[in-house]
Amino acid sequence: MARLKPKVSDRESRARLSRLEQLGIPARPVADPSPEPERLIVEQTDYHFARLHELLSGEIGLVVPVQITVLTPGILIIEQELTTSLNEFPLEFTDPTEWKYYEDVIDDCPSRENLNYLLMNPRSLHPRKEHGIIVANGWSTIPPQFHDDTSLKAQLRLMDERRNEICAEFVVRLDRSLKRMYEKRHAERRERMRSTVGERLYASEAERRRDQENVAQRESFKPRKDSNGAIQKPQQPN
């Protein structure tokens, strides 16, 4: 985990030393201030269920089992960013009620407790330790040479109200099983539609032929006149 800390520049340090020497005061180089204690920690807790799912039409879904520990009361997360090693475009933290793939993506996770709310909470946090999952979705092109179970990296960057940066890195496995399942469903749906259309066309053609036969049969029963104008009795079908 890394965080941004304010540092004293070399130029400022040399200038201070020079002024002290001019005043005849022995001085030591100015050290960086003591690092601020960690206020929040995000740790990956499982690698088997940490996955990047390739879905349909270039959409992807990320699931990472984590433990989030809030150490300092009152910490407020003001910025969040989650990216993968596929590209620099950030993913969106998923709302379970708005993403159609959500239930499939988390289906076999041992914990279904979504901890996105801790990272997106507009209010300050209180000390706690929570186990669950981070879920995000976005768009990316995955090279075809990347086979299932290819290891990929994801990085979470948070910034608190003091402008401290909190980072966590995750290792996830590429998973195309859902994409294959959706493609199979779509193919079966298309096949059913073609079969239904074919049956309807066949039924329509059969109905058309029956209608033609009925018309022909009715025509055969109509009275006809001979050359002398006498009405002929219609012949009964054999």
Domains of the chain: residue spans and CATH:
1-35 (no CATH), 38-182 (2.60.40)
The whole-number pLDDT of residue 5 equals 42
Residue by residue, DSSP assigns 202-216 as: HHHHHHHHHHHHHHH
Residues 6+ apart with CB under 8 A from 137: 59, 60, 61, 62, 91, 92, 94, 99, 101
Q: Which of 61-75, 85-99, 148-162, 180-194 has the lowest mean pLDDT?
A: 180-194
Mean pLDDT of 16-38: 65
SS3 for 1-62, per residue? CCCCCCCCCHHHHHHHHHHHHHCCCCCCCCCCCCCCCCCEEEEECCCCCCEEEECHHHEEEE
pLDDT tens digits along 31-57: 555 667 899 999 999 999 999 999 999
**Main-chain dihedrals φ then ψ at residue 118, nearest 5 degrees:** -70, -35
Mean pLDDT of 63-76: 96
pLDDT tens digits along 121-169: 888 999 999 999 999 999 999 999 999 999 999 999 999 999 999 999 9
Which is higher by pLDDT, 209 or 170? 170
